[in-house]
């Protein structure tokens, strides 16, 4: 699963490119250095909430829209990881491994499948 800062950066870059704007234009409007904005877009820097608000303002995008798009991407990646029989460790959550039982249900380290009871 991708790191949050990478998804945020990819999403910001996508928003900027869809508007056909340059890094220079957005960095000037957001009052952030071009190099720092580039690092944020490449997922190399973790932007503060103030910086995200400034970049979103420069892109004329609500902060909630950015978070919605980031959330949708993370949700999609998590589903792909589970479907593939693995789940990457999430920051702050420790490591986890998901196995897929013969019936197709995901089984984690502290969860076990219960036998099916006939009605």
pLDDT tens column, 1-18:
678 999 999 999 999 999
For residue 118, name the pLDDT band (cuts at 50, 70, 90).
low
pTM of the model: 0.68
CA distances from 119 to 62, 105, 115, 116 (A): 52, 20, 13, 9
4-83 topology per CATH: 434 Repressor (Amino-terminal Domain) (1.10.260)
pLDDT at residue 99, rounded to an integer: 47
Q: What share of the chain is helix, strand, coil (3-state, %, to 5)?
A: 55, 5, 45
Residue extent(s) of CATH 1.10.260.40 domains in the chain: 4-83
Among 6-15, 80-89, 102-111, whose mean pLDDT is lowest? 102-111
Q: Report DSSP state, residue 104.
A: S
């Amino acid at each position: 699963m991708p790191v949050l800062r990478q998804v945020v950066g990819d999403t910001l870059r996508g928003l900027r490119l869809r508007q056909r704007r340059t890094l220079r234009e957005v960095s000037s409007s957001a009052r952030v250095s071009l190099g720092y904005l580039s690092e944020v877009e490449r997922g190399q820097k973790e932007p503060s909430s103030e910086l995200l608000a400034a970049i979103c303002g420069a892109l004329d995008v609500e902060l909630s829209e950015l978070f919605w798009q980031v959330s949708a991407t993370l949700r999609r990646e998590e589903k792909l990881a589970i479907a593939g029989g693995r789940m990457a460790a999430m920051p702050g959550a420790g490591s986890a491994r998901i196995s897929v039982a013969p019936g197709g249900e995901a089984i984690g380290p502290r969860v076990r499948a219960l036998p099916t009871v006939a009605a």
